[in-house]
């Protein structure tokens, strides 16, 4: 361990911790993290979802929890759709700006990990904020991460930033489980496939970086609609094609964790 590197914390009862990250905003990272967590739950796993975006938490909206709670009396984590949840958005009103420096971010993220009774979980999915700042460093250096999933879109500008996120995890010796290309293509009413934001960039980046390409998530207008209404598409439309895509992703992510050789690894899921 490098001098000055924070000590890794332990999470008794949590088998695997997965970070979902992106180099930039606007790629649908929180949507992917939420639906991936729900897909893992649908495959019979015990799953928690931690919103690590202190400044702009989005999990409360996506999971349909709009009220805030007194942190001194509330019983966290909250339960919704079978997931255990924690977010800064549960204790701070949406209109309140979080004007905090790094040490405060570190304090609260560490508290979310260590002072919330997560109980027995197969997976704790952490939705990281975009970029490579204080919150990301706190989580990558202190949380017992089994691996990271990088979310990108096909455009070059997204891929450039995704490379930075990937390199961040490598520098702190966290296995990169692979890359998900979100908003990969759109299937129109005519049945034709349209690659609005180009296509294949995520797979190319995975090949160049020597990591797995986990899969491509198509554009579906219902994804945003379901998220805005607090009922993610994997839960609201479990038989949809995009929900099946997330179930496939959940299977692949589980398998990649097994390949990473994380302690207490689970066998690969079979659909």
DSSP sequence for 205-234: HHHHHT--EEEE--B-HHHHHHHHTT--HH
- Where does the pLDDT of residue 129 fall: very low under 50, low under 70, confident under 90, or very high at 90 and above? confident
Residues 185/216, Cβ–Cβ less than 8 Å: yes
Q: Which CATH number is 14-260's, of 3.40.50.12780, 3.40.50.1820, 2.60.40.790, 3.40.50.300? A: 3.40.50.300
Is the whole-model pTM more than 0.85? yes
Domain boundaries, the chain: 14-260
What sign for the dihedral angle of Cα 168, 157, 233, 185?
negative
Give me the pLDDT at residue 162, please: 83
Give yes or no for residue 194 having a pLDDT over 80. Answer: no
144-170 per-position pLDDT tens digit:
999 999 998 887 666 777 888 888 888
**Tens digit of each residue's pLDDT (9 = 90 or more) over 197-210:** 666 778 888 888 88
pLDDT over 80 at 13, yes or no:
yes
Percent of the chain with pLDDT over 70: 85
pLDDT tens, residue by residue, 239-265: 999 999 999 999 999 999 977 654 433
Neighbours of 61 (CB within 10 A): 17
On whether the CB atoms of residues 265 and 16 are closer than 8 A, the answer is yes
Q: What was the pLDDT predicted at 172?
A: 85
Q: Find out whether 20 and 32 touch, Cβ atoms under 8 Å.
A: yes
- How far apart, in whole angstroms, are the C-alpha atoms of residue 63 and residue 117? 20
Q: Mind listing the pLDDT tens digit for each residue in 73-93?
A: 999 999 999 999 999 999 987
Q: Please tell me the predicted confidence (pLDDT) of residue 261.
A: 57
pLDDT of residue 106: 82
CA distance 45 to 114: 21
pLDDT at 237 > cutoff 70? yes
């Amino acid at each position: 361990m490098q001098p000055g590197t924070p000590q890794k914390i332990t999470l008794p009862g949590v088998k695997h911790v997965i970070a979902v990250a992106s180099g930039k905003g606007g790629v649908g990272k929180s949507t992917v993290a939420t639906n991936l967590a729900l897909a893992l739950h649908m495959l019979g796993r015990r799953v928690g979802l931690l919103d690590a975006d202190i400044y702009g938490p989005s999990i409360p909206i996506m999971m349909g929890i709009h009220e805030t709670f007194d942190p001194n009396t509330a019983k966290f984590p909250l339960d919704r759709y079978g997931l255990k949840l924690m977010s800064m958005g549960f204790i701070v009103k949406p209109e309140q700006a979080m004007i905090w420096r790094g040490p405060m971010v570190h304090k609260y993220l560490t508290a979310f990990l260590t002072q919330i009774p997560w109980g027995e979980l197969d997976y704790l999915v952490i939705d990281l904020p975009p970029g490579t700042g204080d919150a990301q460093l706190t989580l990558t250096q202190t949380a017992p991460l089994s691996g990271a999933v990088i979310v990108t879109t096909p455009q070059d500008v997204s891929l450039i930033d995704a490379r930075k996120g990937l390199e961040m995890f490598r520098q702190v010796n966290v296995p990169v489980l692979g890359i998900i290309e979100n908003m990969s293509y759109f299937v129109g009413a005519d049945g034709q496939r349209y690659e609005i934001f180009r296509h294949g960039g995520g797979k190319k980046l995975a090949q160049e970086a020597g990591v797995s390409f986990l899969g491509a998530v198509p554009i579906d207008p219902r994804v945003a609609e379901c998220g805005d209404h607090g009922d993610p598409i994997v839960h609201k439309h479990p038989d949809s094609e995009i929900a099946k895509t997330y179930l496939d992703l959940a299977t692949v992510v589980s398998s990649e964790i097994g390949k990473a050789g994380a302690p207490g690894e689970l066998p690969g899921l079979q659909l």
